[in-house]
Amino acid sequence: MLSEKHIGFIGAGNMAEALIRGLVKPSGVVPQAQIAASDTSNNRLTLIGDTYNIRTYQENKAVIESSEVIILAVKPQVIHAVLQEIAASVDETKLVISIAAGVKIERIQQILPTARVVRTMPNIAALVHAAMTAISAGARATQEDMETASDIFNAVGESVIVEEKLMDAVTGLSGSGPSYIFHIINALADAGVKVGFSREIALKLARQTVFGSAKMAIETNEHPMKLRDMVTSPGGTSITGVYMLERDGVTAALINAVEAATRRSQELGG
């Protein structure tokens, strides 16, 4: 059970904080005494420690020694140095979960050969407990390890298990996806201003419309085209707007955006 695990975070940035908050507040999935974090910033450690009442350390080794589950929450450009530093302290008893974008399991396993490794790709909505996270298993990871990883990320949203070869596509769709949606919200607000609303009211209308539509799609589990048909009455305003979206290539633009972001993720990952 997750509530019995000791979880350590190497890196205490925004994503680590979102996960810590999800684990300890408000549900109390994991007791605060069982969570530890390390970071290069003393200010960051003080903030995390005081806010969530967890143990903090300047040394990564102290986190590893006190934890069964290690979450690598560091930037991809420093992960090699971090892995080299902790290698001597990590053995087959440790589950290592990476959230470093673009870093393949093989690269981690080369430096931590006996560890059980799981790779994940959460998105920024973890900050509001509405993340979508994809999870991939390394060769040594067990079914229990995958359940542990899923439970951790379900504390800040939803998760899905995918093959690692699809992680770049995950980056293109759900990893980068919030940026597309923010762009759409802004475009809808611009349209609202164009037809006469103040910016404040236009943004409120756009934000709540996107939120409500997503909530309806999730809670009904209906195909989005069926939901769209519920709104688009014959000869009405909605079908007129949908026609313009199709005429101007919005569907193709979104597909192209996901494909381009996927390719870029592949390039960055080498």
Which residues are documented as binding site? 10-15, 60, 73-76
Work out whether strand 55-57 and strand 69-72 pair parallel, antiparallel, or are unpaired: unpaired
Whole-number pLDDT of residue 26: 67
Of 151, 153, 187, residue with least CA distance to 170: 153
Query: Higher model confidence: residue 27 or residue 21?
Result: 21
Q: Are 134 and 108 in contact (CB under 8 A)?
A: no
Q: What are phi and psi of 160, to 5 degrees?
A: -145, 145
Tokens describing residue 77 = 């450009």
Mean per-residue pLDDT, 153-161: 96
Domain 2-167 in this protein, CATH class:
alpha beta
Question: In this predicted structure, what is the pLDDT of residue 28?
Answer: 77
Report domain extents, the chain.
Answer: 2-167, 175-268
**Rounded distance between C-alpha atoms, residue 47 and residue 172, angstroms:** 32
pLDDT confidence tier of residue 27, bands split at 50, 70 and 90: low
pLDDT in tens, 133-156: 999 999 999 999 999 999 999 999
* Helix or strand (DSSP H, E) at 96: strand 95-98
Q: What is the pLDDT of residue 1?
A: 83
- Range 175-268 has CATH code 1.10.3730.10: yes
Q: Which of 214-223, 233-242, 261-270 is least confident?
A: 261-270
Residue 267 confidence (pLDDT): 87
- At 162-198, the pLDDT tens digits run 999 999 999 999 999 999 999 999 999 999 999 999 9
As annotated, the binding site for NADP(+) includes 10-15, 73-76
Could you check whether 2-167 and 175-268 share the same CATH topology?
Answer: no
- Strand partners for 181: none
**Whether 14 contacts 123, CB under 8 Å:** no
Binding residues for NADPH: 60
